[in-house]
Amino acid sequence: MTFYSFAKVVVWRIFKPLYRIQIIGVEHFPKNGGVLLCANHIDNLDPPVVGITAPRPVVFMGKEELFKKPIIKTLMKKLNVFPVKRGAGDREALRIGMKVLKENQVLGLFPEGTRSKTGELGKGLAGAGFFALRTDAEVVPCAIIGPYKPFKKLKVVYGEPINMKELREKKASANDVTDVIMGQIQILIEKHRT
């Protein structure tokens, strides 16, 4: 068993009863091939929650500040997290993300780039659109519907993969594609909020 698999089991056993996690739409998740998994960002616990509810291992980008301390850096690597410089076009992070998708793995992104202070969906950054346009990965929207309060229900909703064919053919911009992805996440939030 890998460290990732072990951590997933441990975190699941703690989080499932604590946050009464309900997973919806996991049948939409592609069983193989590259997947760009895009979720809203409402709490620091979003990455582990997506990691334990997704049916396949997820590789995440994490802010480079997390990699400053050697012990945390080692832990992040074992948990499939690689660093990204926020607020700058980090070419190395883009290269690694492309490699993950081309190797038919799952790349997990929070397109807003930072947690929402209000809990409402913010504007997505162009990075999600960049990956969606530059690879053949399936793009799966995901809505995390809180709050993160002990024994209150937390929903994680996986939507159907977004049809990227038309967007790729008409050479949509990365920003336009990110807007489409964010729109799909918003639809999931509104549908499952109650």
The CATH number of the domain where 152 resides is what?
3.40.1130.10
Please give the pLDDT value at position 105: 98
Tokens of 180: 């489409």
| pTM score | 0.94
Q: What range does the domain containing 142 cover?
A: 3-192
Please give the pLDDT value at position 87: 65
**Domain count within the chain:** 1
Share of the chain above pLDDT 70, in %: 98
Rounded to 10°, the helix 46-53/3-19 angle is: 110
Average pLDDT over residues 146-166: 95
Please give the pLDDT value at position 148: 95
Average pLDDT over residues 139-161: 96
Query: How many whole angstroms separate alpha carbon 134 and alpha carbon 148?
Result: 34
**pLDDT score of 171 more than 80:** yes
**pLDDT score of 3 more than 90:** yes
List pLDDT tens digits, range 61-96.
988 888 998 999 999 999 999 998 876 668 899 999
Average pLDDT over residues 91-114: 95
DSSP state of 10: H
Mean pLDDT (the chain, rounded): 94
Cα 52 to Cα 45, 68, 98: the distances in Å are: 11, 25, 23
Query: How many whole angstroms separate alpha carbon 109 and alpha carbon 21?
Result: 20
Please give the pLDDT value at position 88: 62
Of 121, 128, 124, nearest in space to 167 by CA? 128
Average pLDDT over residues 159-168: 93
Please give the pLDDT value at position 52: 98
Q: Which helix (H) or strand (E) holds 4?
A: helix 3-19
